[in-house]
A and B are shown apart, each in its own frame.
Chain A
Amino acid sequence: MSYLREFYFIHQYAVRDIKRSFKSLWIIFITLFISLFLLSSIFTIKTSLNYEIEINSKELLGGDLEISSGINPLSEEIIKKISESGQLSQTVKFHTMVSREDKGSIFTDIRAIDKFYPLYGSIQTNPKESSQTLFLGSSNPGILINENIQNQFELEVGDNVTILNKKFTVQGIILSVPNLDGAMIFGEFAIISKNEFEKFNLTSAGSFLDYDYRLKMNDNENTQSQIQKIKSFINNDKTIKIRTPKDGSQNLRRAINNFSHFLSLVSVSAMLIAGIGISNTFLSFINKKSLSIAIQKSLGFFSRTIKLIYFYEILLILFITSILSYLLGLLSPIIANIFIPASFNIDLQFTLSFLDYFNLLFIGLLVVLIFSIPTLYSINLIKATSLFRNVFQQINLFFSFSNILLIIILSVLLIVYFIFQTDEKIYTFFYFISFFASILVFFITSFFLIFIFRNFFNYPSNSFKIAKRNIAAKKSLAPIITISLGIGLTLLLTLSFVANNLKREIAESIPNIAPDIFFVSVNKDDKERLALFITTLDQNAIVEFQPVISASFVSLNSIPIDTIIQPNNNSAWVIEGDRRISWYNNPQTTANPITKGEWWTKNDSDKLFISIDSKIASDFRIKINDQITLNILGREIVGTVKNFRKVDYRDLSINFAIIINDSFADELPYEYIGTLSSNLSINEIQSKILKQFPNISIIKIGNILSKVTILLNKILIAIISISLVVVGIGLIVIISAILVQTNLRTYQNLIYKILGINFSTLVKAVCLEFLFIYLSILFFAIVIAALGSYYIVENIFRLEWIFDLDLTLTLTMVTGIITFILILITNKNTFDPPIYPLIRNE
């Protein structure tokens, strides 16, 4: 009961104190609110996205079950058996050139659908219901195209396009399709009816043929048992893959989780910087309360009770700001909907989640505790005896062994809490280590700066002397500015360097070394004629052809590969579906350099030898002489790994993850892929080639790069915007530190004024003070940002890192100028204070 009464007293006192001291505490409210709001928005959008995927998982997959049989359709017998369980819909995906007269051709992802498609959801088109017209039957079959094709060919409904010499009439523009497709959103995508597809009689692997079947189970069927039954029909055929709605959304979910986790890390960084502001403001608040605290001690309050009162105040502020920021954050999915393209077919909903709120509150609590403990313990330093001496000394942050240990435990808890929420545990760990190491670096820098100014540097100028005195003073602003601005600037520079290098690679370096055209599939018989024809168009053109055949990765040392490699493996893409593999006559001279093992000799023609990308080998833990089983044209063949190669996919030229020995491959039916680089007009060359060879599919590399650049720009804008918020919080922290010192600065400047120092000297002193502090930050911020971005660009993205001086100067100057202007504005009342309040002892 007495604990309850004590708690009630603490609560009452704390609430009253917050109301009456709000002017001293508003900075804590603001910085906590902004950083919690950022985190809350990220959590809420992530939860909404995952919820949207969860409730629409069948729509995303296109059915209760998806069966992919690859290049060959399922047998009629299997189709009949599956159809017993519900409604079956068949689609065929393939790639080919779509042409418009005088407008050229585009390599397009085409989906041929039957009348049952889609089993879940609907195709949104303009005009509405135009997907129904595909099955009406007319002299010119219909086609639905996406906006990318419409824009490139300037098409309207009723215009004609040609696919493999057959005319199709545009019936409508696709706005969205139920099962999310990357080509629909980012590339060229079209829909025709399956009946028209069958007339093409396509069997070429170069068209990336893929037969898909989707099943909508009968209502009375037990889903799980039916899935097991269907799996039993096709168990032995390794080329057939089955996916459930849960599998269908896995990649998307993983991408969302990783991206939101990265944004969470950045916003937690913002919160940690806000923590510095909280610590500083809280300390100033306790200093203002030192008289009250001394009186309370003289009255007999325990130190523990007093600490609890102020701790409770901080908790109340945290609780209120967390609720406000969470509630406001709930609106973020609705705002995010404005920025999500309609083609994503995603409509985020308002999603209340107590788990998200408690997650937010817990993280906020850890940060607040870490940064308020030294101030709370400083209450021990306030003595009641001060009342008798009438001397109140400014107290500073109090660090003892026990509270340092507590801070370390809480920091570790925060880091571990984040690490366990993500798949990328190592990266998260290193992020936090880098973050805290950076804080330490800037902390030491500030002390070094103060030491240098205290013991060296004398210059016969009043402005310089005042600036020096301010920097070297006991309550100098140097540590706060150095740490908060230093961290914000470092984060901004790091992300900008990464973004800049990515953009440079994609916009400049890659186009310089990448070919202009990629031939997706060239018939064996057409290859020589094509090469000759290109030479007639441009004698200086660089042409390269490589034989290819489709194969899929079945097992490693007789263990099915999909049981060994998890979907989150960095090289999992290799085992998804068919891959194109190739061979060289003299691999030693023409293929990528080997990192381990040896090339084979020509004599061993019966056996299959395999050379594999060294990164894939490392991710899959493959060793030399391991046995890999490949499915090549329906036949499973076991091959021996002979070497690992270092493959650089960056230049978009012809590269293969898997190469086999040519003596084994010679007997296989293969086709060619090729590249072309020319200084002549690529559109013209493409059009002439397609006229001569209408069955060839071509991709213009420039198109792909520009699409990737556009997408990358959007992502990078989002990332850099978040880092700007971190800088913004750093600026608020600096302003709060300056406001705390206003009285001291005013008093000081008043004395200077009385002594005859003029206004311009004081302003110059502020300029110099900021300049010295900022220069000390710049060097370390640039070095840390360079090191961090180098690691990310070279090791994670595996691109070349280059330092951009222009970008560095622009960012640092803009940040410096904005910070300086804010400091001047905040300090403006201290430059020319009136004299009489001092004389009257006010």
Chain B
Amino acid sequence: MKNPAIEFSNVSLNYNQSDNLVEVLKNISFSIKADEIVSIVGPSGSGKTSIIMLTAGLEKISDGTIGIHNRVINHLNENELASIRRQHIGIVFQSFYLIPGLSALENVLLALEANHKYGLEDQAKNLLEEFGLSHRLHHLPGELSGGEQQRVAIARALINKPSIILADEPTGNIDEMNSENVIKLLFDYSKKNKTSLVLVTHNHEIANQCDRIIELKGGRIVLS
């Protein structure tokens, strides 16, 4: 595949746990195009979240190579990985993980500030307004509903216009109606900006809406 956004080549991930070797991922290979929406499915412990963490540069592989926009990231140091994360990757978590002491607007601005972009309040406001949160800009996470929190988290993930979005069970903690809204937001953004979207989900309906499904079982890809 030419110029994939994400490329895993013979990637293995092992942990040593109490003198036992735990093989989380076993020699997996796949690639994801720049504007592709891919869902990763599989039972608990199959290695889905590990793929997200490896792509985000938050975990080190045991073997193989990972490329982000044709750049191998295996051997990069922490600062270089952080730099890639800031500029190219947006992460959405199941539990939202907004900073409790910052308002909705401030949480979104934080992502810009991490990227050394300052004084862009209008940009953040516009994005939150786009997500229907114009009346919640200065509210703390504790004052927002689950759906609102997740929308703020998505705005934070997208504000830097990443080329890759990683969403780990983004609808896991919200109701059905809000789940639909969240998925719609992610899909719309991805298609509009030709962004790769990697979605870890247990929800087959959501998975079926994606361009491709990668199914994992026991650390191996059984369907791609």
Contact = CB atoms under 8 A, between A and B. Distances in A.
A5 B101 contact: no
A298 interface: yes
B28 interface: no
B110 A296 contact: yes
Q: Which of B49, B86, B93, B114 has the most CB of A within 10 A?
A: B114
21 contacts: A292-B101, A294-B97, A295-B97, A296-B114, A297-B82, A298-B58, A299-B85, A299-B114, A300-B83, A300-B86, A300-B114, A301-B82, A301-B114, A302-B79, A387-B93, A387-B97, A388-B49, A388-B52, A388-B58, A388-B168, A390-B95
B207 interface: no
Given A300-B87, A384-B58, 17 more contacts: A6-B116, A16-B101, A291-B99, A291-B100, A298-B56, A298-B85, A299-B86, A299-B110, A299-B114, A299-B156, A300-B83, A300-B85, A301-B114, A302-B79, A383-B58, A385-B53, A388-B53
A640 interface: no
Contacts, number: 68
A385 B86 contact: no
A302 B58 CA distance: 13
A447 interface: no
A20 interface: yes
A832 interface: no
Contact of A303 (B52, B78, B95, B102): B78
A291 B97 contact: yes
Contact of A8 (B79, B118, B168): B118
B115 A292 contact: no
Interface in B90-134: 91, 93, 95, 97-102, 106, 110-111, 113-116, 118
Contacts of A648: none
B158 to A, nearest CB: 12
A319 interface: no
Contacts of B83: 300
Interface centre among B83, B91, B156 (most CB of A within 10 A): B91
A21 interface: yes
Nearest to B153: A295
Interface in A409-443: none
Interface in B73-89: 78-79, 82-83, 85-87
Interface in A265-289: none
Interface residues on A, range: 20 to 34
Interface residues of B, number: 32
Nearest to B119: A5
B143 interface: no
Contacts of A302: 78-79, 82
Residue of B87, B97, B168 with highest tally of chain A CB at under 10 A? B97
B113 A9 contact: yes
A17 interface: yes
Contacts of A387: 93, 95, 97
A158 B86 CA distance: 94
A9 B99 contact: no
A291 B85 CA distance: 18
Contact of A298 (B87, B91, B101, B118): B91
B59 interface: yes
Nearest to A380: B78
A295 B85 CA distance: 12
Contact of A5 (B91, B98, B110, B118): B118
Interface string A7-20: 01100010011001
A292 B99 contact: yes
Nearest to B115: A300
A300 B118 contact: no
Nearest to A384: B58
Contacts of A388: 49, 52-53, 58, 93, 168
A294 B100 CA distance: 12
A2 interface: yes
A6 B113 CA distance: 9
B160 to A, nearest CB: 9
Contacts of A291: 97, 99-100
Contacts of B93: 387-388
B122 to A, nearest CB: 17
Q: Top 9 A-B pairs ranked by shortest CB distance? A: A300-B86, A300-B85, A299-B114, A292-B99, A300-B82, A20-B101, A300-B114, A301-B114, A295-B97
Nearest to A383: B58
A2 B99 contact: no
Contacts of A292: 99-101
Contacts of B101: 16-17, 20-21, 292
A20 B141 CA distance: 14
